[in-house]
Structure 1
Amino acid sequence: MASLTGKVALVTGAGRGIGRGIALRLARDGADVALVDVRPDGIDAVAAEIDEIGRRTTTFVADVGERSEVFAAVGHAAEALGGFDIMVNNAGIALVGPIADATPEDVAKIWSINVNGVLWGIQAAVAQFKKQDNPAEIRGKIINASSIAGHDGFAMLGVYSATKFAVRALTQAAAKEHAADGITVNAYCPGVVGTDMWVEIDKRFAALTGAAEGETYNKFVGGIALGRAETPDDVAGFVSYLAGPDADYMTGQAGLIDGGLVFR
């Protein structure tokens, strides 16, 4: 029996990249999955993949920066799939550039998604978990997307790093506040993942520094102890662990899953 059989999970930013990988892994491990993204086309395609796995799924279009939309997404998931057990606050965006050049508009946008989106997700999940009649010792799990940039501040990624440090703070505080409610809160911290986000990061570095396209990506990958770039599946395996029963005694942590790039 898969470790997540009978569980209902929601994944934000599920239409592509790491979010897609997480959603598919949770489904393979037995969960029914609600897919949330700001764009409908991606989650519709992922839903079709989950149907092939044989798990139930539902989709919901939402901007995680809008609190009411996150609460609506969680309510939809619980109603459509008959319960709610796991919240994966995965949605996020990057911002590449010197700290000195960050505009109020840039900061407001990335903060809205990377930090506020996690905060609203924590709030919505806690509210739903408390509504449900669940006598289990662990009544719900919240899993947040941080980053290696939530452990080390990276040049040219200063504001992005700040948002990921903030996610670690929210994770720790929420874990302390809701342990007595039977809710665990943890985070995952990926490194250099071969997704569209890193393609855009690399292009932005090239434009700002004069490096050839691909050079920045290859430089970061060259520093990974295990000798290769990370895949969404690498991240998804760790998230599935956090979602499953083997992590029931773990809370408030922000685990690095980066192949050996940042060491703590």
Structure 2
Amino acid sequence: MSLVGKVALVTGAGQGIGRAIALRLAKDGADIALGDINSQKIEEVAAEIVALGRRATTYVVDVSKLDQVVAAVDHTYAQLGGFDIMVNNAGIAQISPLLEVTPEQVERVLSINIQGVIWGIQAAGKKLKSLNQRGKIINACSIAGHEGFALLGVYSATKFAVRALTQAAAKELASSGITVNSYCPGVVGTDMWVEIDKRMAEITGAEVGATYKKYVEGIALGRAETPEDVAGFVSYLAGPDADYMTGQSPMIDGGMVYR
């Protein structure tokens, strides 16, 4: 229970990895603010957190909008009486050959995966500095932030950008006692990978499920990753054992990409 007394805001918390992170941080003692564009889903997760004996609040937020992210951080502090941890988890996939990707597709994925992280870092950093307290900012990266994948070129570029933002923010905020790190999952059995597999099938002509199966077969530990696998690592980054770690984007992928 290393997070007792801490307050965390998790974006993209309505499902998948974000939901698992919110629940794990709550199990480890934190009170949780849940941010997502889907109000129904975060209310359901909030009920799960309350059932664990922790406090929870929700806020509908589009992370591509700076004012909404700032408002989510302010809401967290106002409702839960503190602010210690920011998990910039919200993100989307984008599957398309680079020769066919459209300006609209590029704009959408960059606005969420890159701008969303920038606004999260900015809002959280300013709030923590105004409170004159230490804190943790944790960003969603990916193995695609260490290696570019075919048909995921734009998505990979956004995750490379997250690594750069994590390093730059870590250097800028270290003197204020704020650490900034990222987590880099591999093939996680979530709705995002269902969509990736479906689009890959449409583009390549492979059967639905074949792309997912191919990637899972390449995992050294022999199984797909679960959201809970990711959440356990994020809890470590959020806790005191990671106080001397900043600017890093480690992979937690079961053995797929090695650096």
Aligned to 2:252: 257
| Alignment size in residue pairs | 259
Aligned to 2:109: 110
SS in 2 for 1:156: coil
2:157 counterpart (141, 152, 162):
162
Aligned to 2:41: 42
2:222 counterpart (221, 227, 242):
227
Whole-angstrom distance in 1 between the partners of 2:73 and 2:250: 25
Aligned to 2:31: 32
SS in 1 for 2:99: helix
CA RMSD in angstroms, aligned pairs only: 0.5
Matched, 1:68 2:67: yes
Q: Superposition pairs for residues 1-264 of structure 1, below 5 Å? A: 2-134=1-133, 139-264=134-259
TM-score of the pair, normalised by structure 2: 0.99
| Structure 1 runs (4+) greater than 2 angstroms displaced | none
Distance apart, 1:71 and its partner CA: 0.3
TM-score of the pair, normalised by structure 1: 0.98
Distance apart, 1:25 and its partner CA: 0.1
Distance apart, 1:56 and its partner CA: 0.3
Distance apart, 1:182 and its partner CA: 0.4
Whole-angstrom distance in 1 between the partners of 2:252 and 2:97: 26
Whole-angstrom distance in 2 between the partners of 1:46 and 1:78: 19
Amino acid at match of 2:236: Y
SS in 1 for 2:83: coil
Distance apart, 1:28 and its partner CA: 0.1
Whole-angstrom distance in 1 between the partners of 2:156 and 2:36: 23
Amino acid at match of 1:14: A
Residues 19-65 of structure 1: per-residue CA shift (max 9 Å, x gap) = 00000000000000000001101101000100110000000001000
Whole-angstrom distance in 1 between the partners of 2:215 and 2:77: 40
SS in 1 for 2:183: strand
SS in 2 for 1:59: strand
Whole-angstrom distance in 2 between the partners of 1:241 and 1:110: 28
- Which consecutive unaligned segments of at least 5 residues does structure 2 have? none
Worse overlay, 124-133 or 15-24: 124-133
Amino acid at match of 2:24: R
Distance apart, 1:133 and its partner CA: 4.1
Whole-angstrom distance in 2 between the partners of 1:105 and 1:263: 33
Whole-angstrom distance in 2 between the partners of 1:15 and 1:107: 24
Whole-angstrom distance in 2 between the partners of 1:150 and 1:251: 17
Distance apart, 1:200 and its partner CA: 0.3
